Each structure stands twice: as C-alpha cells, then as structure tokens.
Structure 1
Amino acid sequence: MNDSRTLRRSLPGVLLAACLALTGCDQDAPVPPPQAAPAATETRPAATGGDAPRLESLASLDEQPLARRKLDIQTWQTAEGAKVLFVEAHELPMFDLRLTFAAGSSQDAGTPGLALLTNAMLNEGVAGKDVTAIAQGFEGLGADFSNGSYRDMAVASLRSLSAADKRAAALELFSEVVGRPTFPEDSLQRIKNQLLAGFEFQKQNPGKLASLELFEQLYGAHPYAHSSEGTAESVPGIGVQQLREFHARAYAAGNLVIALVGDLDRTQAEAVAAQVSAALPQGPALPATPVPEAPPAGKHHIEYPSNQTHLLLAQLGIPRGHPDYAALYLGNQILGGGGFGTRLMEEVREKRGLTYGIYSGFSPMRAAGPFMISMQTRAELTDGSLQLVQQLVRDYLAEGPTEAELERSKREIAGSFPLSTASNADIVGQLGSIGFYDLPLTYLEDFMGEIQTLTVEQVKAAMNKHLQPDGFVIVTAGPSVEQQPLPPPTERPVEQPSAVPEH
C-alpha cells in the first residue's frame, strides 16, 4: 500500500474503537444530575468554608452519549461528471480536499502493481518541476499533499489554508500533480527498486506471507486476489507508457468522487471542484468490480522457521452498502472485533494465554470483502488453537450473543461514534467513502440508529446468513513441530502470552 500520510479508516466498522480515560474524578463529591451539556467544572464548599473548583466526575454523564457533529452534506456533479460531496465548516481557516478514484489494484487488468505505481508517481514530476520542487511548493504554501492506492481505490488529498491567495496557488499545483503528471523515468526506477526491496523483505515476514496466500486462496482469479503492491515478477516490466495509459482512463473525471470540507462557502466549493475536475483526463467511470465466487474451504500451510505460527481464517463477507452491515458489525464486535472483552479474546488469551491478541472483522469493499480472524500462537499449540477458534465461532453462531453483550456493545459504539466526525480530516474521509460506495448522505446517522434498534435475534440471523462455521479458508505460516494439547481454561493461565508478538 502506498500512503505518504497514513489514511484514516473510513466508515463505521473500523473507526469505532476509542475508549474514555477516567482521570481526576472526585470520589467524595456528590454526582450531579445528568445534563445535556455538562459543565466542565462546578463548585462546592471547601474545607475552609469557601468555594473551590473541582473536576466533574464522568459519572455525571450517566451513560449519556457524547454530542455528535451533525453534518449538512451538500452534493452535486461537475460538468465533467465527477461526484462532489461538501460540508461547510468555518471553525478553522483551512479546507481538506480528497479525490477518490476507482483506480485501485482491482483495475490492474493483469499487470499487478500498475495502479500503485501510477498513484505513487503522481507527485514525482510535472512540467517544470521535479519531486523536490513539488514538495517545496506545497510546503511553502503551508499545504499538505498525500496519496495512496488500495484494492478498490486510489486517493489524492490536499490540506490547505483557505485564504484566497494560498488556496489558489495550492489548488493550481495540486491540479497539475493529479491531472498532468509527467512520470519521469528515473523516479519510476527508484520506486520500482523500493518495491522490489520490499518484496525481499516480505520473505522474512510470515504474517505478510500468510496474508498474501490467504487472498490468493480466497479470491482465486478475482482482481482482489493479488496484492496492491504487485509482485516481484510484474513490477520490473511496468513502463512509463503503461502509467500514462492507466492515468488517462482511471484518473478521468467521470471515475472520481470529490470530497471537500472546510472554510469555504458553496460558491467557493463549486469553483474548487470545477477547477480540479477540469484539470483531469476526460472519460467515464471504469467498469464495476466483478462479483467473486466463494472458494472451497480448506487449510494451507506455509513452512517458516520461527517460534510462533500465524493463523488466518477467512470467508467471503459482504460488499459495502449491504443492508446487513450494521447487524454484522455489531455481532462481530461481540465475537472478536472489540478488543478486550470479546468472546475470542476472553477464551483464547485471557483464559488460556495462547496469544497476545486475536481479532476478527468484516472488511466490506465494492465487491464482497473478507471476513477474517487473525492471531499468532506458539508453534506447538497451532492445531489446538485452530480447533478452539473454530469451535468458538461455531458456538457463537449457534447461540448468538447474549442480551448483556448486545447492550454493552451498543453503548460502546454510541460512545465512540462522535470520534468519526471529530475533525475535518475525519469528515472528508467519511464523505469520500459515502460518495465512492454510493451510500445515502444520511448513512452515518442511519447506521447509528440501526445499531441501537437491533435485537439479539436479528444479529444472530445476520451472522448465520453470511458465515458458515465450516466454510473457512485457513492459512498458517510457521514451523512443522510436534503438537501439544491446549492448557485448560483458568482465570489466570499459567502460560502468559508474550508481550510482543513476532512481526
């Protein structure tokens, strides 16, 4: 994955993972009644008889959800066919712009790595400027450029001051970089060498090897099967002309979603979108990603010398926008997506000490993305750990969550949901995903509303509809050693997991 600035994960399912830290609570103070907007401090009689400020206990929230930032999303289409989503926000004299193209590795068309190399080369050169001059140009304006390429999409982002002079100069440079890159040969060779060095490094990373094998086994001949980075065989042969041709069709305005948030009014936002859209190649959206076929269940092993084994279990999940997503997200939070307190973490780590961490999750994409469970454990406990995980999934599908588990997860999701729109950068990521996956403008509020109304029966039904207990594609990477039986579950396992997992 190419990403000069780590992109925030978008949409509920991967952004609802924060927790509150309780600090400075005054245990002797009376708890004030719940308020819609509790004050930061209040007074009480001090020992000297006067009033002294104190920190208000978080207990005063009485499980009231944090305030949410309501988004007024405006949308339109540019003359060239780009979809635009805009939120006006004048709190800071800045704006965030994100372009999301359907130009990820699923569009490589038999040349793995083509999409990533094209995206990585955007800011390597434009007419009259090399990569250094481009970087200095953005820096001199107080602006920030970032880009990234993934399986579904490629993105290019700009953060800039909104003052007219700074905005105009930053947009001009950004439009050149995204719309008219020159793809210099020397830069292409440098980036290819970096990728090739990365492929060599991957050979020493059993977790990465397992992931690559898993996607190949899960997706077969589907475009999702190969890594976004390409392969050691495909990358060396990719040339400048191929990049230009891919850019001409995949970075076309008709294949684009523009997300814009910040200190702009509607007229200014329309001008920004029009300028960027007009600077791009002209053309339609690329064809939709094909639907993958479900693979046969089975186990695949990668022999690797180490003390631990990486275990990955996966099935095809759902595409983004599927009506069952909220129920699956909530169900998975209880199974293994919510960190400590989930069934997998409780049984595998806390009671048996088999792993540092075990996690599960749905990753919806344009086509059905994977549902995956991942962990690593001592090599001699691989078989037993795998059987335990499969049994835990089987039991969960048969029983469903308890009412207490459901209500706890609902509260956790409601409490962390405001973080999804806490900053303009968060919002622009949300807008990009909403536009790219053709979700309703009210998607975030709809998601939260649906989460809070789901029942145990609905969650159980959704999990059973989309997961089969014996349908996993399983990949292990580690040494072949004599297996030992698992330790029995206890409140304090004798064998504690290692503090730092391998790789």
Structure 2
Amino acid sequence: MSERNGLRYGLLGLAALILLGALALLASRPASTPPTPPSATPEAAAGPAKLESLTALKGQTPSRRALEIHSWRTAEGAKVLFVEAHQLPMFDLRLTFAAGSSHDGATPGLAMLTNAMLNEGVPGKDATAIATGFEGLGAEFGNGAYRDMAIASLRSLSAKQQREPALQLFTEVLGQPSFPAEALVRIKNQVLAGFQYQKQNPGKLAGLQLFQRLYGEHPYGHPSEGTEQSIPPLSAAQLRAFHAQAYAAGNVVIALVGDLSRGEAEALAAQVSAALPRGPALPPPPAPQVPKPGLSHIEFPSKQTSLLLAELGIDRREPDYAALTLGNQILGGGGFGTRLMAEVREKRGLTYGVYSGFTAMQTRGPFMISLQTRAEQSAGTLKLVQDILRDYLATGPTQQELDDAKRELAGSFPLSTASNADIVGQLGAIGFYDLPLSYLEDFMQQVQNLSAAQVKTAMAKHLDPDALVIVTAGPTVAQQPLPPPTDKPAEPALGVPEH
C-alpha cells in the first residue's frame, strides 16, 4: 500500500469561502514581482511584461517563487521548517518521520501497516467519525509509508475557528491511534488482496525481485508493503510499539506553509510536537553491500516482456547530485528527446516508453532503467539499452544535449514551488535529508554552471555498465532481430503497457 490519502476537500460552502477569501486578498494586495534574474534586461526589471510565447524568454531562466524558510526545533526535539504564505487563507502541514519500511526489522510490512492504521481510530472516535470530522471542517488528512519515511499531512483553512479543531483532530490521530481490531483485520485483508493482484503484474514481480537482488538482507531489500507470510501475524501490540518509537517527536520533521504568522506557526508546531510520543531520532539504514551483477528471468505469460536494469546509486546528500540529475535528464529522465527514448522508441518503435532515474535515499538508493517491449524482441532490446548506456558513459553528453537539458530543467523547476503543497513537500525533503535551507537556490545554480565534461565525469564515476542487476519478466519465445534505426519506424511504438 504505497499511499493512503484520507480525504476530501469538504463542503461546497467552505470551498466558496476559500475562493472569496482569495479574491479579497488579491484585490487588497499589490502584485508581487518575482526577483529579477541576473540575465534580465533593464526593460524587464522595470515591470512585468506580458509573455506571449516561450521565445520571449530569449534563453533566460524562468523566475521561481522566492522562499524565505524559517527553521527551529521544538522543546521535544522536532525539526520545523516554515514558509509564510498569505496568498490563500489556508495552510499545509506535513510531518515526515524516519518510519519507513527500512525500520521494519524482522517484520516486513510493520511500518506500512502502522501508518495505514493512524486514522482508523482514536479514543472516542472511529474511522468514520475521524473522516467526518475533517470533512466537516473543510480539512484534508493524508498519509503514506515508503522505504525511508512515513508521512502524515493536514490541509486546512487558516482561520482560527477551522484551524484549531482541525489541528486538535490531527494531533489525536497522530498521537493517540487506537489500532482497533476490526480495522486491522480489514486493512490486512486489503493488503493480502493486493498481493494476489501483484501476481498478475509482471512489472511488479520484476521490481520485487530486483530490489531483493540489489539489496539482499539490507533493510531496503524487502517489500515495503510486507509479504503474504509477514502481514497476517502482525498484531496491534506490535503496531503500538512501533508507533511509540518511530512516531516520536525527536524523529519527525514538521514542514509548514501557509497563511500563518511566525508566532502562529511556532504555536502550531509546538502543539503537534507535544502530542507525539517522546523519543529520539532513529538511525539511518547502514550502507548496502555491492550486489552481484547479472540477469535473472521471471517466466510470465504475456505478449510483452518487462525489462529492469539497476545498480546502486547515491544517497540524497551526494555532492554530485546536480550533475547526476542533469546527466540522467539527457540519458532517460526527460521523456522524449532523451538518448534512450530516441534510440529505442523513436527510431525503432520497440517500446511505448523507456525511462531512467536515480532514486536518492538516506543511503544508496537505486539507479534504474525500465521499459516494456515485445517478447520476441526483448533480448535485442536489452542489449540495445545496455549499449546506449555504455556509449553514453564513455562519451558523455554533447553540448547541444547539455544546453537543452539545462533549459528543460530551468523551465520545469519553478513548478516545484508553484503551490503551497509543492513547497511543503520540498521543505519535508530538505528537513528529512538534512539539506541546507538554500538547497532550492543552490541546486539550479549548480545545474546551470555544469559543463559537459563535469556531467560525463560524474555519470562515469557513479555508474558502471558492467555492474547492472537485470531482471526480466515475460514469456520465453524465439527471438527476432531488431529493426534498423530510421526516422520512420516500420512498426509504430507499442500502445500503453499491458500492466
């Protein structure tokens, strides 16, 4: 269960209130002009001009919402990051705990199940009462568990009459979950049903085997959602014990964005922190051992074969993070126009899509290339992907590829702070991975300063084409040769993947 989002925006009347409040604020407040980028002309600095097309940027980096991030710790040891934003009469609160499946220990699925049960009951309220409570206030609760972390979030109107009861209910859910027996049985059954679905999904089966081969006995190696064997015996007592340890105030980052003053934000964070169990931060997972490379195959009746290629990548504090992000954007992280997409889909029509990416985590997360292709051309497609990676690591990007990737990242990066929900997610990551408060500004500056030689060096330093762990899932069939590359492939690309 990758994420369970509890809830619903609320009553139409309250939605209208939000809209009216926003219009009133906009009408009473002068328009804010984003900071002038260094390359802007004096004419641009004189006032905002209407942008008729992207060509009007003339190579300039699009402006991004400037953020003033405040940070402090609560009395109980919780780290807080706050951005004041009065454009809308709302606030977004996100709690990030070091409570992901890497802390499951010998009981896979413990972290996921604990997080899934948070809003199933508190003293005096069942799941329906909790859901109705948030909904009646026009508030939204969300939660989810992953390998590194578990999260819980609240979005609410910032007016005191809505904020205070929403926050009170949120602190009850986070601090006093009752883990009712009937809800535990129901969620276990949902998870077990999900395992049955996984058996019909070759891509999922390949992913599970890939992580097991990549990490072995390391905490990242077992499935985040647990297994058919581990879920049934998990008890409410185990969930309570995990909650008391992993949902402690010293083990959380509180990210907060919205229509609040610094004083209101401090009071809100203090209330949340005080409601959590007492305890210190949990240690990060150990460094994984380098896995044995090679190919393994899962036999599966399908017209397509899923291909996954991976090796250990980087942790989130890696100094080469910007160079690797830019390098991967060129290889396979940017959709159409990447090396992989051009060679595998556009020139040969072998797949609907092929993608690559680094998943940077508390310790070395995976670098992965993934695609689906026709079963009868899977061997040739696999070799083609390996050859593309090998060539890219040997030659590096061209200057044109580098310039295009920089432009694409510069154009898309402002979206990472386009809304309060986007910002609160960024703050949670900055706090959880202990990044500098200036990270958002630093990252884009680092990207723009990179040369093709620096990107080539970073990619070759962190990736080895001979170290790939490869998992394929599909039928064993006679193989056919690949078509030659052409601007107009003889056969169109495959449709949407089967699974």
Fold match, TM over 0.5?
A: yes
Q: Distance in 2 between matches of 1:3 and 1:467?
A: 31
**Residue of structure 2 equivalent to 1:40:** 50
2:235 corresponds to which of 239, 249, 273: 239
Question: Partner of 2:399 in structure 1?
Answer: 403
Specify whether residues 129 and 199 from structure 1 end up closer, same or farther in structure 2 by C-alpha distance, changes over 3 A only: same
SS at match of 1:299: strand
Counterpart position of 1:205: 201
Q: Is the 8 A contact 2:6 2:140 kept in 1?
A: no
Is 1:295 aligned with 2:291? yes
Residue type of the partner of 1:39? A
Does 2:452 match 1:456? yes
* SS of residue in 2 equivalent to 1:296: coil
**Separation (CA, whole Å) in 2 of partners of 1:58 and 1:191:** 49
1:476-496 CA-to-partner distances (Å, cap 9, x unmatched) read: 000001111111111111021
- Amino acid corresponding to residue 49 of structure 2 in structure 1: A
Deviation at residue 65 of structure 1 after TM alignment: 2.3
- Whether the 8 Å contact between 2:313 and 2:360 is mirrored in structure 1 is yes
Aligned equivalent of 1:308: 304
Residue number among 300, 315, 329 corresponding to 1:333 in the alignment: 329
Q: Secondary structure at the match of 1:290?
A: coil
1:475 corresponds to 2:471: yes
For residues 5 and 449 of structure 1, what CA distance do their matches in structure 2 show? 35
Aligned-pair distance for 1:60? 2.2
- Structure 1 distance, partners of 2:376, 2:164, is 62
* The one of 84, 96, 104 aligned to 1:88: 84
User: Quick one: distance in 2 between partners of 1:441 and 1:287?
Assistant: 22
How far the C-alpha of 1:6 sits from its partner, in A, is 10
- Counterparts of 1:365 and 1:230 in 2: how far apart (Å)? 20
- Paired residues of 1:34 and 1:62 also in contact (CA < 8 A): no
Query: In the alignment, what sits opposite 1:497?
Result: 493
> 2:312 and 2:229 mapped to 1: Cα distance?
27
* Cα-to-partner distance string for 1:44-103 (whole Å, 9 max, x where unaligned): xxxxxxxxxxxx344322232222111100000000010000000111111100000000
Q: Which residue pairs with 2:35 in the alignment?
A: none
Cα RMSD after superposing both structures: 1.5
The aligned counterpart of 1:248 is: 244
Q: TM-score, normalised by structure 1?
A: 0.91
Instruction: Tell me the secondary structure at the aligned position of residue 445 of structure 1.
Output: helix
The Cα shift of 1:226 comes to 1.1
**Matched residue, 1:102:** 98
Residues 296 and 83 of structure 1: CA distance in aligned 2, closer, same or farther (over 3 Å):
same
- Show the counterpart of 2:358: 362
Q: What amino acid does structure 2 have at the position aligned with 1:169? A: P
Partner of 1:4: 4
- Given that residues 350 and 494 in structure 2 are in contact (C-alpha distance below 8 angstroms), is that contact kept between their aligned partners in structure 1? no
**How far 1:40 moved relative to its partner?**
3.2
Query: 2-side partners of 1:259 and 1:33: how far apart?
Result: 37
Alignment of 1:80-229 (within 5 A): 80-229=76-225
Aligned AA for 1:197? A
Structure 2 match to 1:75: 71
- 1:422-448 per-position Cα deviation (integer Å, ceiling 9, x unaligned): 000000000000000000000011000
Aligned to 1:17: none
Partners of 2:49 and 2:261 in 1: how far apart? Answer: 32
Q: Distance in 2 between matches of 1:500 and 1:113?
A: 31
Can you list the C-alpha shifts for 1:359-383, whole angstroms capped at 9, x where unaligned? 0000000010000000010101111
Q: Take 1:35 and 1:414, find their aligned partners in 2: how far apart are those partners?
A: 18
Cα displacement (A) at 1:323: 0.2
Deviation, 1:34, is 7.3
SS in 2 for 1:254: helix
1:46-65 alignment, distance < 5 Å: 56-65=52-61
Contact map agreement 1:2 1:120 (CA 8 A) in 2: no
Counterpart-to-counterpart distance in 1, 2:70 and 2:42: 38
2:272 is the alignment partner of 1:262: no
In 2, distance between residues paired with 1:326 and 1:289?
A: 23
- Distance, in Å, in 1 between the alignment partners of 2:449 and 2:55 is 25
Give the CA deviation at 1:33: 11
Cα deviation digits, residues 337-370 of structure 1 (max 9, x gap) = 0100000000000111110100000000001000
- Could you say what secondary structure the match of 2:172 adopts? helix
State the alpha-carbon separation in 1 of the partners of residues 491 and 497 from structure 2.
15
- Tell me the residue number matched to 2:19: none
Which segments of 5 or more consecutive residues in structure 2 lack a partner in the other structure?
Answer: 8-40
Deviations 1:400-439 (A, max 9, x none): 0001100110011111111110000000000000000000
1:342 aligns with 2:338: yes
Does the aligned pair in 2 maintain the 1:297–1:471 contact within 8 Å? Answer: yes
Q: How many residue pairs end up in the alignment? A: 465
Q: CA deviation at 1:38?
A: 4.5
The equivalent position to 1:376 in structure 2, one of 372, 375, 380, is 372
Contact 2:6 2:143 in 1 (8 A): no
| Contact 1:349 1:357 (8 Å CA) reproduced | yes
Residues in 2 aligned to 1:461 and 1:60: alpha-carbon distance in whole angstroms: 34
Shift of 1:39: 2.9
